[in-house]
Structure 1
Amino acid sequence: MENSLNGKKVVVLGGTSGIGLAASLLAAEYGALVVVASSTQKKVDEALSILPEGSTGFTADLEDEKQTELLFKKIGGFDHLIFTAGDQLSFKELSELNIEEAKKSINVRFWGAIMAVKYALPMIRKDGSVILTTGALGRKPRVGTAVIAAMASAVEGLTRALAIELAPVRVNAVCAGTVRTNLLENMSAAGREELYNKIGSKLLTGRVGNANEIAEAYLYLMRAGFTTGQIVVADGGSLLV
């Protein structure tokens, strides 16, 4: 596959940590001009300190429609949009669920994605693409993941619908399994490691994933000009066991 990212402009919302930062670094490695966005200036500064010279960053609250609209006016024309923004994951059974917290999570991961694509569309150049992010729990939920599974399923449906509506702009999504990122920072380090080991021992890979491995899926989708409306799964085989 030719190095088709050379000189392309890639916007990564949520690109300052975890999978988003890994995707930003990989895109830059393949010649892309990277723009990252986060809700805090500190995270933007930290990301820019390790991204190549020429990378840029902005702050925006992706739950706020006006801020999202203004963000894309600042960014201007570009080639690929990656949406990885999201808050901390919370695993709670329905009886213990805080509805307002759940609504906030949906606002970021689902409505945030819709608003981002709406205002990005006029800026996306010919042959560009959109890549959303979802999770394997949408296809194989477990106890305590009702909201997470619902959001993941919604993003998959959104991906297919937008691929039809926005054509010829390509729209795809990456479906990630359990990955070592900052999304479980609300847990203790020991608890987090215990969870990773427990889940990893049941996977076909024998371990959970890392952000760099998931980033490869975004790289593929940016360069795969004949692929649209698809969900690329990178889950260590969790859907098979």
Structure 2
Amino acid sequence: MSLDGQRIVILGGTSGIGYAVAAATAAQGAKVTVVSSRRANVDKALAELPAGTTGIVADLNDADRIRAMFGELGAIDHLVYTAGEPLLLSPVADLDLDSARKFFELRYFSVLAAVQAAAPHLRADGSITLTTGTAGPRPVPGSSVTSSVCGAVEALTRALAVELAPIRVNAVMPGVVRSPLWNFPEDLREQFYADTAAATPLRRIAEVDDIAQAFVFFLTQPHATATILPLDGGAVLA
């Protein structure tokens, strides 16, 4: 399946994995629209992405704004959701419940709102690709909220694949990726990457371009739906 001329909306498409997906699909001739809540991020992405890419500033927590946005966009072929704030990691004993609710708001309820708004505008042979993470099936201490969100998105993917068929609904499940989500000090971040790489069979950390290839696969694979694709360099075996 060719992406040439296909209309793709990427929520969270101005940085990290989402930006890599935007670059990869635009390079294949897709008509890409990136969406972010920050004007500066949209402007920067549009200055770097291929000509013809468009950008929209929208608060993904504002369901009415997202509904209006898809109404303005009209018919589309694919929805990609990669938006997310830095990961919430905290021992249960120290967990701030308000922060936990906020994390769920963007990582789950905004996903649900985006799908609800986009579905009426998706062509029948189109697709939705969501983002989860290996914290769902492979939690670590302090990941109770992050793991819960990942599990919720996995379940949502399967439920939507049944309800929205023949629209295809899948999810990419990255492990540790070199991206802006890991926002702790640089020396600690690099040590974290090195330790993680050493514990995986491939002995490397994923780059955003690696993960973008999985999104392109789902966009172009006409027989994949309800599929959760792990990409963790074999960390599950460690």
TM range (shorter): over 0.9
CA distance, structure 2, for counterparts of residue 78 and residue 224 of structure 1: 17
Corresponding residue of 2:207: 210
CA displacement, residues 53-112 of structure 1 (integer Å, 9 cap, x when unaligned)? 111110111111111111212222110000001111121111111111111111001001
Corresponding residue of 2:87: 89
Listed as ranges, the matches of 1:97-176 within 5 Å are 97-176=95-174
TM-score (norm 2): 0.98
Deviation at 1:199, TM superposition (A): 1.0
CA distance, structure 1, for counterparts of residue 110 and residue 83 of structure 2: 8
**Tell me, what secondary structure is at the counterpart of 1:232?**
strand
Corresponding residue of 1:48: 46
CA distance, structure 2, for counterparts of residue 121 and residue 109 of structure 1: 18
CA displacement, residues 129-169 of structure 1 (integer Å, 9 cap, x when unaligned)? 00000000101001010000000011000000000000000
Structure 2 alignment gaps of length 5 or more: none
CA distance, structure 1, for counterparts of residue 201 and residue 151 of structure 2: 23
CA distance, structure 2, for counterparts of residue 147 and residue 154 of structure 1: 11
**Tell me, what secondary structure is at the counterpart of 1:184?**
coil
Question: Is this contact kept in 1: 2:132–2:173, CA < 8 A?
Answer: yes
**Tell me, what secondary structure is at the counterpart of 1:139?**
coil
Q: 1:230 aligns with which of 209, 227, 231?
A: 227
CA distance, structure 2, for counterparts of residue 161 and residue 210 of structure 1: 29
State percent identity of aligned pairs: 41
- Count of aligned pairs: 238
CA displacement, residues 18-64 of structure 1 (integer Å, 9 cap, x when unaligned)? 00000010001111010000011110001111111111110111111
CA distance, structure 1, for counterparts of residue 203 and residue 165 of structure 2: 39
TM-score (norm 1): 0.97
**Alpha carbon RMSD of aligned pairs, Å?**
0.8
Q: Which amino acid aligns with 1:226?
A: H
1:240 aligns with 2:237: yes
Structure 1 alignment gaps of length 5 or more: none
Q: Which runs of 4 or more aligned residues in structure 1 lie more than 4 Å from their structure 2 counterparts after TM superposition?
A: none
Q: 1:27 aligns with which of 6, 25, 30?
A: 25
CA distance, structure 2, for counterparts of residue 53 and residue 126 of structure 1: 28
CA distance, structure 2, for counterparts of residue 240 and residue 111 of structure 1: 32
Q: 1:220 aligns with which of 191, 198, 217?
A: 217
Deviation at 1:233, TM superposition (A): 1.1
CA distance, structure 2, for counterparts of residue 192 and residue 88 of structure 1: 13
